[in-house]
Amino acid sequence: MIKKQGLRTAFMALALAGGTFMASPAWAAGTMTISSPQDPGSWDPVDTFLVNWASVATNIYDGLTYRGPDTKLVPGLATSWDVLDDGKRIRFKLRTGVKFHDGEAFNADAVKFTFDRLMGEEGSKGPQKSNYAAIDSVEVIDENTVDFHLKQPDPVLLTKLAGYGAMIVPPKYIQEHGEDYFNTHPVGTGPFKFVSYEPKVGIKLEKFDDFWGDKAKIDNLNYRFISEPSTAVAELQAGRVDLVIPPTIPIGMIPTIKNDPNIDIVSSPSPTVYALRFNTKNGITKDAKVRQALIYGVDRQTIIDSILGGQASPIASFQGELSFGYDPAMKPLPYDPAKAKELLAEAGVKPGAAVQIDIRGNDATFNEVVQAVASYLQIVGINATIKPYETNVLLNDIIPQGKTGAMFQQSWGGWTLDFDNTAYFMYHTGEKWNPYDSDPKMDELLESQRAITDPAKREEILRNIANYAADRALEMPLYNLNAIFGISHRVKNFTPVPDSRLRLNEVSVD
């Protein structure tokens, strides 16, 4: 049995080792400072899937549609749309009088440029293109009207247009300054405009007075990239940070934050799920029996109860209850160390066999979780070593290039609240987040549901995908974690969002 006190003691030692980052003792009126755990490295919408990109860039860019904290889809840069030709054409009427931050006019040409670029050579360099693969072409009807011609219907496309690769970008600005410049000097139509960016340090934004929607109530947004959780919390306590965004807050520090009269914790249900995915190509985890054994060998419910403090729920597949495609009939494999040992013996794995688990080094809570996982695996005869990486290295090199150990951390926001957005990128052959597995049956299932507009039929296929992935034990599903924010009491009118895509024009500070 894993002892809660031992885990907590080890965690607190880790947290206290972080030290304190020295910064200015106070912020000017009208300025909000936010701690983000990761520098995405590029601010171009086609370059990333990172939640920490979206938590900043949602304030810089707009999409044709918008999905707010209530998860409802509403007009963005498009005021209305009509789905035509049995779902193979969508006509968008565009908002008039909108300007990019550089003064360039938003119009139908900007929409066409954005999607030609996304579906072309530039988009091919990043991870976003396949998310919009249904788009065949964008046709300019007039200055304020565009038609999207689709290769096949895509029932999730309107939601996809609300984030990430679909953010509308300025044609003239990019053509004049070039792609590399745009990566570090972003321009959009959102409520805040870019001021400066210092890699690994932070990015600064300021209120955009010509924003087409509700004007920002604060003058400046300063994002600081603080990878060490204990440092981020210390800065929040010291008043040098106003908001700490997920997944930074260590569960073990929630009581400390709640006991501070100047700061608090706010949380909301989230689509974010955590798993340890398997290398299905090499080593002992190439065998599905071994993968199943490792899942049976870990008491995930006890980990949730003892480490995550009620801020998470168990999962049977790589999605939570907010996801379309979630199957409530699926149950996690139970903790059964005897079954684990039996399967390992059947697979010819001898006691003392070694596995490496690769994780993000700055995620203190998950570090504690994976230490517990390693302890459980030791009970069934597997020696697990934990290898931490800097987050960008793990996500941009180690995982995509297939250089992980037997198991590796994968957390996923599932921001479309649709299992396709998770499953296609985790399981389809050739995708960035699927460096090892190639399964024709899985590919066929994934592709078949993308063109189906009947929700019930599509949901059935997505549930079949989840069950098939579980049968093959492609990952060890761990938990669905709430979105947890640490916040200063000087921040007013803040709404925690489930997917960390923060739009802060309604927020004010004392």
Q: What is the pLDDT of residues 426-476, one digit of tens each?
A: 999 999 999 999 999 999 999 999 888 899 999 999 999 999 999 999 999
Where exactly does CATH 3.10.105.10 map onto the chain?
A: 270-481
Q: In whole angstroms, what is the distance from residue 46 CA to residue 114 CA?
A: 10
Quick one: what percent of the chain has pLDDT higher than 90? 82
Q: State the residue for tokens 């609240």.
A: 417
Give the bridge partners for 382, in sequence order.
Answer: 353
The CATH class, in words, for 31-262+489-509 is: alpha beta
Distances (CA, A) of 165 to 159, 169, 173, 304: 12, 10, 18, 34
Q: In whole angstroms, what is the distance from residue 292 CA to residue 339 CA?
A: 9
Q: In whole angstroms, what is the distance from residue 402 CA to residue 434 CA?
A: 8
E strand segments, 226-329: 243-244, 263-268, 273-278, 312-314
Which tokens hold the place of 47? 């370059």
The helix, strand and coil proportions of the chain, stated in percent and rounded to the nearest 5, come to: 35, 25, 45
What letter represents residue 86's amino acid?
D
Give the bridge partners for 268, in sequence order.
Answer: 483
| Phi-psi sector, 227: left (phi>0), alpha (psi -120 to 50), beta | alpha
Q: What is the pLDDT of residues 378-403, one digit of tens each?
A: 999 999 999 999 998 999 999 999 99
Residues 6+ apart with CB under 8 A from 471: none
Which tokens hold the place of 487? 């916040």
Where exactly does CATH 3.40.190.10 map onto the chain?
A: 31-262+489-509
CATH superfamily of 270-481: Dipeptide-binding Protein; Domain 3 (3.10.105.10)
Give the bridge partners for 356, in sequence order.
Answer: 385
Q: Is the dihedral of CA 299, 257, 206, 97 positive or negative?
A: positive
Q: In whole angstroms, what is the distance from residue 287 CA to residue 465 CA?
A: 20
DSSP 254: H
Q: What is the pLDDT of residues 78-104, one digit of tens each?
A: 999 999 999 999 999 999 999 999 999
Q: What is the pLDDT of residues 230-265, one digit of tens each?
A: 999 999 999 999 999 988 888 889 999 999 999 999
